[in-house]
């Protein structure tokens, strides 16, 4: 059980199995079950291996059993290396034999069409009937390097002589990504603790594995490749647990270019696409998002090479190099990744220079020159020089750049080791063309060596932005006023509908959201009694953007203008075939700063709140922040402060009351969370937010699914 009552499956039997039954294994060449047994034997799996074959006496030299019912005990894990059509019945047989965990590699399920979907539904039902934890189907399986459990048929393991282990655990919705990840990491002398391919996630999800990793003391960093999200609340809860356990999560997301709606009725749907929502939720969970497999491995490996207290150290970097050009390029690369390369203090320069060869150029970057490694005198003093640079109060970490230097590789490794021992700050190593023995030595020391300087700068950029404080659930979230219930209950919205401002205003008011003063008028005389200056809006549920349709007149200052405006709106509506139910008459609000504040339901993550530049500029500037409900007023204000308009137009936003605008967004989130419809958008555009306060000037509710 976790955040908001989310339940996770206990999958220890999957990852920590002490006995494995391989159903469908044989000695026939190319048999995937036999391949799995070969992997288990090759890497020294520490548990029992029980092949299951209807007629063979042995498989891979091991005694074979006719069925799972004939096994010497209930295996912790069953590898069902069989075609899709047999998987359903085998799950039932496993359940009857007391087996509660299994892997199905076969494809031909939901990914293959309606018939496959129906077969997967039957598989899920069979698992539910016996409480069976299923990894897959349509997956590559799972690996636990600690116990040498290789429940996979991956051909990539043929290239491994030994099973490297580590403190990064990975879960992937792609089997190919898992295989490539292990191969690329091994090339750098780096290993994983777990590598899991979840496939279709019919029963056990990626979130279940992230939850397990969060509670595994041997895991320091969690890596994931995701293409879709089946249960957003469950994923968020798992990520929150990882954050609470001080374990960074690094995610590579596939399919980020899809938009949530190509033709949208509201500005909100245009501004908030699938990728933006996912990115916003991940940001709020403290996740580091990356754009490539290389970046995923680099970032996760760097994070895992650091102590927990070094995470979130900051983004001010000292660079040391043995060649001036490399230092110059690395400086540019660091700056482009959002890092700072500050000037070292005079005291630091003096202390480092006193221990380095006269050929060295001390600064930031510092060119140590190869001479520092060639002569015993300078080599013996190098740790003190590096320690002095790392100790500078103006830097948060050190980027150590090395050249090929094969003949001095041992000395370079020793210098890095000494530097790590001399400072509590993060040390990052970039070593293009490093000798294999040097990579192995560094890996044994828990140091990940980057093969290219820009890759190191990119990972350091993620480290500089990482904040252990980010990722916690919002505290002090707003509650829904009791007055909202009767307002919603009084509405009859039993099918998709557009609810225009004159009906949405009472809902906002009941929730305590400030709305501009106004009346619903059916004649010019009624409107005139309201007083001037005023705003005139045609009342209709048929038009979502009334201003663009010519059904709004601003700044009406007298009776004559009112007559003209009333007639103009009426004539325009008649010409367009739009029915009007009178006019909404509102007080003309002062101030130029407008925001679009809205709440909407996302298919994966539930209620979201967005705040962006409002009015006619909403879509033109595409300046928006998104937050998952519920959210506190303080957290909302911090997110809103990140809008580009605050940096680019400081005069326009100088008078904005950020705490009040944050409270407005938080209260809207609370209101939206209480609405009964499955899919809707509640858009307030514009919201005036300046020295006179925060007030909603217009509102639109679109109910898309009841």
Confidence at residue 405, expressed as pLDDT on a 0 to 100 scale: 80
Flag whether pLDDT at 277 surpasses 70.
Answer: yes
CA angle 216, 243, 278 (to 5 degrees): 115
Strand 288-290, strand 249-253: pairing? parallel
Mean pLDDT along residues 183-203: 94
Strand 534-538, strand 552-556: pairing? antiparallel
Confidence at residue 236, expressed as pLDDT on a 0 to 100 scale: 96
Flag whether pLDDT at 269 surpasses 50.
Answer: no
Flag whether pLDDT at 116 surpasses 60.
Answer: yes
Instruction: State the average pLDDT for the chain.
Output: 92
* Positive or negative torsion for Cα 311, 314, 315, 319: negative
Contact 260, 269 (CB under 8 A): yes
Tokens of 192: 């994983």
Confidence at residue 4, expressed as pLDDT on a 0 to 100 scale: 61
Q: pLDDT, tens digit, for every residue of 154-187? A: 999 999 999 999 999 999 999 999 999 999 998 8
Q: Which helix (H) or strand (E) holds 116?
A: helix 114-130
Confidence at residue 544, expressed as pLDDT on a 0 to 100 scale: 85
What is the percentage of the chain residues whose pLDDT exceeds 90? 78
Mean pLDDT along residues 476-500: 75
For tokens 């249960």, what's the residue? Answer: 231
Mean pLDDT along residues 418-428: 96
Mean pLDDT along residues 410-436: 95
Question: In a 3-state reduction of DSSP, which class is residue 342?
Answer: coil
Flag whether pLDDT at 470 surpasses 90.
Answer: no
Confidence at residue 618, expressed as pLDDT on a 0 to 100 scale: 58
CA nearest 314: which of 472, 468, 470, 466?
Answer: 466
Under the banding of pLDDT at 50, 70 and 90, the label for residue 507 is confident
Flag whether pLDDT at 488 surpasses 80.
Answer: no
| Cα gap 135→206, rounded to integer Å | 10
Confidence at residue 209, expressed as pLDDT on a 0 to 100 scale: 98
Mean pLDDT along residues 280-305: 96
Q: pLDDT, tens digit, for every residue of 380-406? A: 999 999 999 999 999 999 999 998 788
The residues, any chain, with a CB within 8 Å of residue 476's CB and separated by 6 or more, are 632, 633, 634
Flag whether pLDDT at 328 surpasses 90.
Answer: yes
Under the banding of pLDDT at 50, 70 and 90, the label for residue 617 is low
Tokens of 333: 């690369």
Of the listed ranges 18-27, 75-84, 200-209, 623-632, the one predicted with least confidence: 623-632
CA nearest 310: which of 390, 368, 194, 223?
Answer: 390
Tokens of 87: 């998987």
Confidence at residue 362, expressed as pLDDT on a 0 to 100 scale: 96
What is the percentage of the chain residues whose pLDDT exceeds 70? 95
| Cα gap 458→399, rounded to integer Å | 12
Flag whether pLDDT at 435 surpasses 70.
Answer: yes
Flag whether pLDDT at 272 surpasses 70.
Answer: no
Confidence at residue 2, expressed as pLDDT on a 0 to 100 scale: 53
Flag whether pLDDT at 273 surpasses 60.
Answer: no
Residue 191 or residue 690, greater confidence: 191
pTM of the model: 0.91
The residues, any chain, with a CB within 8 Å of residue 377's CB and separated by 6 or more, are none
| Cα gap 271→118, rounded to integer Å | 36
Under the banding of pLDDT at 50, 70 and 90, the label for residue 257 is low
Contact 594, 687 (CB under 8 A): yes
Of the listed ranges 142-151, 231-240, 489-498, 523-532, the one predicted with least confidence: 489-498
Confidence at residue 271, expressed as pLDDT on a 0 to 100 scale: 44
Question: In a 3-state reduction of DSSP, which class is residue 392?
Answer: coil
Q: Which helix (H) or strand (E) holds 702?
A: strand 700-705
Confidence at residue 256, expressed as pLDDT on a 0 to 100 scale: 67
For the residues of 489-507, what is the DSSP string, one character each?
HT----SSEEE-HHHHHHH
The residues, any chain, with a CB within 8 Å of residue 649's CB and separated by 6 or more, are none
Q: pLDDT, tens digit, for every residue of 649-689? A: 888 888 899 999 999 999 999 999 989 889 999 999 889 98
| Cα gap 419→398, rounded to integer Å | 9
Beta strands in 278-426 (DSSP E): 288-290, 317-321, 366-367, 397-401
What CA–CA distances, in Å, run from 63 to 22, 83, 477? Answer: 12, 23, 61
Confidence at residue 616, expressed as pLDDT on a 0 to 100 scale: 57
Under the banding of pLDDT at 50, 70 and 90, the label for residue 597 is very high
Mean pLDDT along residues 410-421: 95
Q: pLDDT, tens digit, for every residue of 55-69? A: 999 999 999 999 999
Confidence at residue 368, expressed as pLDDT on a 0 to 100 scale: 96
| Cα gap 102→486, rounded to integer Å | 50
How remote is the C-alpha of 477 from its chain's centroid?
22
Length of the chain: 706
């Amino acid at each position: 059980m976790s955040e908001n009552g989310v339940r996770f499956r206990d999958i220890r039997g999957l990852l920590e199995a002490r006995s494995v039954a391989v159903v469908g294994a044989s000695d026939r060449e190319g048999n995937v079950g036999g391949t799995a047994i070969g992997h288990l034997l090759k890497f020294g799996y520490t548990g029992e291996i029980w092949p299951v074959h209807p007629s063979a006496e042995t498989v891979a030299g091991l005694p074979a059993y006719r069925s799972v019912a004939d096994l010497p005990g209930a295996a912790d894990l069953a590898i069902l290396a069989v075609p899709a059509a047999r998987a359903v019945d085998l799950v039932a047989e496993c359940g009857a034999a007391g087996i509660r965990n299994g892997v199905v590699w076969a494809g031909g399920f939901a990914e293959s069409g309606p018939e496959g979907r129906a077969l997967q539904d039957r598989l899920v039902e069979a698992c539910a009937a016996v409480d069976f934890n299923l990894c897959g189907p349509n997956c590559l399986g799972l690996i636990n390097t600690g116990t040498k459990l290789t429940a996979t048929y991956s051909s990539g393991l043929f290239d491994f002589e030994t099973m490297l282990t580590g403190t990064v655990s990975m879960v992937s919705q792609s089997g190919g990504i898992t295989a490539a990840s292990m191969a690329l990491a091994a090339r750098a002398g780096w290993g994983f603790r777990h590598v899991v391919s979840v496939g279709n996630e019919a029963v056990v999800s990626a979130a279940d594995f992230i939850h397990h990793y969060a509670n595994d003391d041997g895991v320091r960093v969690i890596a994931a490749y995701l293409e879709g999200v089946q249960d957003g609340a469950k994923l968020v809860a798992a990520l929150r647990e990882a954050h609470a356990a001080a374990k960074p999560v690094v995610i590579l997301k596939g399919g980020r270019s899809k938009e949530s709606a190509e033709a949208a009725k509201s500005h909100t749907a245009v501004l908030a696409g699938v990728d933006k929502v996912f990115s916003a939720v991940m940001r709020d969970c403290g996740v580091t998002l990356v754009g490539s497999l290389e970046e995923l491995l680099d970032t996760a490996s760097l994070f895992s090479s650091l102590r927990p207290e070094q995470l979130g150290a900051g983004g001010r970097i000292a660079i040391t190099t043995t060649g001036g050009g490399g230092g110059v390029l690395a400086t540019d690369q660091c700056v482009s990744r959002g890092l700072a390369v500050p000037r070292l203090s005079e005291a630091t320069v003096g202390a480092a220079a006193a221990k380095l060869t006269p050929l060295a150029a001390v600064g930031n970057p510092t060119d140590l020159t190869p001479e520092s490694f060639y002569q015993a005198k300078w080599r013996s003093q190098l740790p003190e020089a590096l320690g002095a640079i790392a100790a500078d109060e103006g830097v948060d970490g050190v980027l150590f750049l090395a050249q090929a230097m094969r003949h001095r590789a041992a000395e370079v490794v020793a210098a890095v080791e000494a530097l790590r021992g001399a400072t509590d700050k993060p040390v990052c190593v970039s070593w293009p063309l490093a000798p294999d023995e040097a990579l192995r030595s560094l890996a044994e020391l828990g140091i990940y060596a980057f093969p290219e300087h820009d890759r190191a700068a990119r990972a350091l950029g993620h480290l500089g932005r990482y904040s252990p404080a980010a990722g916690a659930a919002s505290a002090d979230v707003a509650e829904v006023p009791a007055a909202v219930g009767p307002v919603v209950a009084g509405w009859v919205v039993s099918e998709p509908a557009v609810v225009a401002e004159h009906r949405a205003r009472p809902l906002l008011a009941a929730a305590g959201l400030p709305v501009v003063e106004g009346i619903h008028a059916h004649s010019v005389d009624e409107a005139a009694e309201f007083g001037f200056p005023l705003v005139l809006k045609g009342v209709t549920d048929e038009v979502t953007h009334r201003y663009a349709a010519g059904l709004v007149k601003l700044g009406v200052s007298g009776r004559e203008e009112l007559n003209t405006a009333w007639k103009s709106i009426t004539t325009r509506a008649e010409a367009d075939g739009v029915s009007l139910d009178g006019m909404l008459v509102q007080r003309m609000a002062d101030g130029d700063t407008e925001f679009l504040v809205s709440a909407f339901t996302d298919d994966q993550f539930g209620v979201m709140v967005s705040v962006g530049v409002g009015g006619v500029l909403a879509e033109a500037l595409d300046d928006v922040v998104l937050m998952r409900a519920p959210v506190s007023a303080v957290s909302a204000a911090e997110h809103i402060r990140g809008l580009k308009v605050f940096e680019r137009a400081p005069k326009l936003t100088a008078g904005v009351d950020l705490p009040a605008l944050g409270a407005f967004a938080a209260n809207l989130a609370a209101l939206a969370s209480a609405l009964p419809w499955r899919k809707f958008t509640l858009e307030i555009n514009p919201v005036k937010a300046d020295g006179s306060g925060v007030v909603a000037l217009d509102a639109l509710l679109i109910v898309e699914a009841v």
